[in-house]
Structure 1
Amino acid sequence: MSESETSSWILPASIPFTKLKARDLEECVYWLLDAMGARDLEWRTGGSGGGAPDGGRDLEATFYVPSPDGEMDPQRWWIECKGRKGTVEPDEVKSAVNNATAHGELANLVVVTNTTFSNPTRDWVKSWQAAHPWPRVRLWDHELLERLLSKHPSVVLRLFSEALSPAGLLKAAQERFWSKLEYTPAKALRTFWTARESMEIDALARFALIANEFAHGSIVDRPWGASASPAELMQTTHLAFSNLSYLFVRVSKVGLDEEPILAAFAHLIVTSLQVTSADELTTLILKVALSHDGKTFPDEVIELLLVPVLDRLAGEMRDVCTADCDRVLMSEATTLVGPEHSVQAYWRGLDPAGAPAQPDERRFLRLERHDGPCKVGFSLNKDRGCPLYELTPTATNVAAFLGVIERVSEFRLAEARAKAEAEREKRAHSAPAGT
């Protein structure tokens, strides 16, 4: 990614560099190092801030770098923070360097300031470095700190959220989701939706947005998948299912509710079926995303990873397809569609405009009858019931199951769109003249 792209993520004037001193500067550098991949990160002052005894450094960190033989070698870093109003005094840098030379295991000494270093100070460091190749002395001034923060907007979001542009907020939301499975406030999602035409949304960001919407309730108001082009949508589907195992392991490890993730994957399937066939989607999921060296994962792995998603999708389709079905008996209840949205609203999640629908009657399937026709057009009788109930998803019938979902979703989505259009025409004709 180019420097111009990352620089557009933050608004430098909104980062209070002049006030970034003592504990505030140390905290900023701490989270920056964390975002850069530091391990064994230690805040030497114990959080007390400027002036506490720190043994010649404010922060310690370890970075692991690849060696020529393929191993990962640890490199120990010391970081000394110098918050100032003006240029950092040369003696401060010299003192930090002298303290570091007593520790032979040290790889890098970083002196960080919110302002600048004088040319004589930089010249002294170059001269010293020529005679002492170890440790490496790095000077991070205001400009370098700004560039590093631009590459890690999640740090800016944590400390200076007002300094992020919409593109920067989106990048931070993406990082928080994929790195830590943290969700973004709904206010940010509304900002992204308003600015979506002016932002570049890649597959990583799009799936993060879909999952974030479900973490806040539903995707009805901001249908990120439906608003993407077919190519963008399929790229997102490929990327998401390629990371299915990673996400489920992360969810389990951190103890989060898996429902938003399940809902996001289920939604991605039904959305993708509007632009591709069930057979093609099955191939993408099983032969490309859930495979290794050209071989699909074993059935037991598919059962563990994919079937929970398909079960979730089956429940949703039962809700929305049987809501007005003559073959079923219904009763009042909260369904997978969500207590705040109707069946009609469910299909709004596939409407690129993202227009909300009014709540409608909520019902839940209790019992199937066998003496009525299927509105979708499946050939059913007393011996052959609704495939949404009879075809339980397994690792061996993914294509058949998605074929049922494809047929149901296409029919019901077309029906929902026709009803929405009829309602719009009705409102238009009933509106007073001149409005």
Structure 2
Amino acid sequence: MTEDNLFIEDIDWTLIDPEKFEKLIYFLLDSIGMKNIIWRKGGPGVSATDGGRDLECEDHIVGLDGSVRTEKWWIEVKYRTNTLEKTKVHETLINALGFPDVDVIGIVTNNVITNPTRDWIENFKQNKHQRFVIWEGHHLEKIIKSDPSLIYSFFPSSLTLKGRFNIIDTRFYSYLQLPSGTDLVDIWENKDKLDFSSKVILPIILAEATFGDLFKRQWALWFEKDLLLETFLSGLLNIIYLLHKCEALGKDNIFIMEGMEYLLLSNLLNFKANDITEDIDMNILHNWSKNKQEKSENSYDLIQMILKPIISNTCLNLLGVCDQNYLCKKLILDSNTKKEYMKKFILNEINEKRSLLIIQNRKENCKYDLEIPDNNCPLMYIRDNHKITDKNSLLKELEITQKIFMELRDTIFRLS
């Protein structure tokens, strides 16, 4: 095996059972472009008995003149630990004779058929109008390996790290599937050997922020800053699509917000708030506008809708560091472990998520000398009262967040 190979070994069929094998074939048919697929399943672990087929589908064949011819397929799925019995092949073909509207009869097995069975099939095909195909294990493996995402779903151990890495973006943008915990560990340990793009980094960061370990794997301190900015902007540009995808799939979108928050702070480490604001204004708003030369009037309403929740959640987490017993006399919080939030950006620790009770003392001034209406805490003001309406209001939020974040990070670093 060379380093360029995507597969570490042949498929081990013992890793799945008959029910999963049928499920695999169902998704394989979809992957190769079959239409109107029906899984005629009778019950848990038992295939359907209506007419002898497990799956129905259609193959739409486009002619040279653009016309479309439809072939109706019936498929029986036969998971075997040994050679497929000749009697089962007989039963399938004889059953199909009673359904003349079926064009193609298929048998799919993970194993092989005997030579006598193969000869019998050839004789049978010569006298019947229906076409018959059989996919044996070695044929099936070749077809499946054309779709590494399918391999990952059913036989992840058959893929090399490069094979798993190469399908991260496809699995994420198509199905919102994130890299696994094992993937995250392996990718970090081999990060110098991999070629990262913003499309791959985004799902990695979202996975790390949701169930990974950003204290051990500090991507914000390893990736080139321009690549992190590109990833953040790409996330903003695609966030509406991703949120709609979450809704369609019935998934909670919290993992998107947590990952984007980490990317926001990662970029505030490296760039001035004004530079980030300019990039959002030039790259994101122009992409959203109907006229590339003139931003629409509602562009900043969209920024308020998608970026404000990210900034607000960031402020809430930063508030957790600003308690009176630690840094600030203006706030009282119910926990003394909030400082760990900052360790994602300076050293390795274990993160504990906690809810916070926050009491604000308006008689005390913020230590950062920021001019905020009604002597409000800057972070609470951004989170609860301030609205993004234009470029300047966005810049104000990012500048305040950046100033406090950097001060807190430096303070935690000195005290660690």
Question: What TM-score, normalized to structure 1?
Answer: 0.69
Residues 417 and 249 of structure 1: CA distance in aligned 2, closer, same or farther (over 3 Å): same
Compute the displacement of 1:328 (Å): 0.9
Which segment is superposed worse, 205-214 or 166-175?
166-175
Q: 2:51: which partner in 1?
A: 55
Is 2:406 aligned against 1:409?
no
Could you say which residue in structure 1 is the equivalent of 2:284? 286
Q: Return the alpha-carbon distance in structure 2 between the equivalents of residues 70 and 302 of structure 1.
A: 45
Question: Partner of 2:217: helix, strand, or coil?
Answer: coil
Paired position in structure 2 for 1:328: 330
CA contact (8 A) 1:26 1:49 kept: no
Query: What residue identity is the alignment partner of 1:259?
Result: I
Distance 1:183 1:149 in 2: 21
Deviations 1:131-165 (A, max 9, x none): 97x97x66544344334433544544443343343
**One-letter amino acid of the counterpart of residue 313, structure 1:** T
- Paired residue for 1:11, among 8, 12, 19? 8
User: Could you report, residue by residue, the CA deviation over 1:258-288 in whole angstroms, capped at 9, with x for unpaired residues?
Assistant: 3222222222222223334232332256325
Map of 2:154 onto structure 1: 159
1:105 is displaced (CA, Å) by 6.8
1:351-390 CA-to-partner distances (Å, cap 9, x unmatched) read 5xx622698x997642143554633x53x38866554344
Aligned partners of 1:111 and 1:19: how far apart in 2?
21
Whether contact under 8 Å (1:88, 1:116) holds in the other structure is no
Partners of 2:402 and 2:315 lie apart in 1 by 11
2:310 matches 1:309:
yes
Between 1:206-215 and 1:413-422, the stretch displaced more is 413-422
Local SS of the residue matching 2:269: coil
SS at match of 2:185: helix
The structure-2 alpha-carbon separation of the partners of 1:209 and 1:62, relative to structure 1 and needing over 3 Å to count, comes to farther
**1:10-49 map, 5 Å:** 10-13=7-10, 15-17=11-13, 23=19, 25-34=21-30, 40-47=36-43
Deviations 1:110-148 (CA, angstroms, capped at 9, x unpaired): 5433246799969x98xx79x97x97x665443443344
Give distance in 2, aligned partners of 1:39 and 1:255. Answer: 24
Q: CA deviation at 1:36?
A: 5.4
Partner amino acid for 1:394? K
User: Does the Cα contact within 8 Å between 1:177 and 1:183 map onto a contact in 2?
Assistant: yes
The 5-angstrom pairing of residues 23-172 of structure 1 reads 23=19, 25-34=21-30, 40-47=36-43, 53=49, 55-62=51-58, 76-83=72-79, 85=82, 92=89, 96=93, 99=96, 102-104=99-101, 106=103, 110-115=106-111, 140-170=135-165
Find the aligned partners of 1:202 and 1:74 in 2 and give their Cα distance.
41
Pick closer, same or farther for the CA change 1:262–1:189 going to 2, 3 Å. Answer: same
Are the counterparts in 2 of residues 328 and 369 from structure 1 also a CA contact under 8 Å?
A: yes
In structure 1, how many angstroms separate the alpha carbons of the residues matched to 2:291 and 2:224? 29
Structure 1 residues 239 and 408: alpha-carbon distance in aligned structure 2, compared to 1, 3 A threshold: closer
Q: How many residues align?
A: 400
RMSD value, Cα: 4.9
What corresponds to 2:341 in structure 1?
346
Give the structure 2 partner of residue 388 of structure 1. Answer: 379
CA distance in 2, matches of 1:289, 1:191: 35
Q: CA deviation at 1:244?
A: 1.0
C-alpha separation in 2, matches of 1:263 and 1:250: 17
Structure 2 residue 382 is matched with structure 1 residue 366 = no
Residue range with higher mean Cα deviation, 37-46 or 85-94? 85-94
Rounded to whole Å, the distance in 2 between the matches of 1:73 and 1:395 is 55
Displacement of 1:170 after TM fit?
Answer: 4.7
CA distance in 1, matches of 2:301, 2:217: 35
CA distance change for structure 1 residues 170 and 255 in 2, over 3 Å: closer, same or farther? same
Of 324, 345, 348, 1:355 maps to 348
TM-aligned CA deviation for residue 100 of structure 1: 7.9
Structure 2 length-normalised TM: 0.71
| CA deviation after TM superposition for structure 1 residue 72, in Å | 10
Question: What letter matches 2:29 in structure 1?
Answer: L
- Percent identical pairs in the alignment equals 21
For residues 64 and 414 of structure 2, the distance between their equivalents in structure 1, rounded to whole angstroms, comes to 64
Residues 144 and 150 of structure 2 are in contact (CA less than 8 Å); yes or no, is this contact kept in structure 1?
yes
| Cα 1:421/1:368, change in 2 over 3 Å | closer
Change (3 A) 1:318 1:58: same
| Cα 1:28/1:48, change in 2 over 3 Å | same
Alpha-carbon distance, 1:187 to partner: 4.7
Deviation, structure 1 residue 404: 3.9
Decide whether aligned partners of structure 1 residues 363 and 252 sit closer, same or farther in structure 2, where only a CA change above 3 A counts.
closer
Deviations 1:23-42 (A, max 9, x none): 55433312433555766543
CA distance in 1, matches of 2:372, 2:23: 68
> How many Å apart are 1:237 and its aligned residue?
2.0
CA pair 153-419 structure 1, distance change in 2 beyond 3 A: same
Is residue 35–residue 59 contact of structure 2 (8 Å, CA) maintained in 1?
yes
Q: Can you give the 5+ residue segments of structure 1 that lack an aligned partner in the other structure?
A: 335-340, 424-435
| Aligned equivalents of 1:30, 1:373: Cα separation in 2 | 61
Distance in 2 between the 1:330 and 1:232 partners? 38
Q: Say if 2:212 is the partner of 1:231.
A: no
- 1:308 deviates by 2.4
Q: Does residue 222 of structure 1 match 2:209?
A: no
Structure 2 CA distance for aligned equivalents of residues 192 and 147 of structure 1: 27
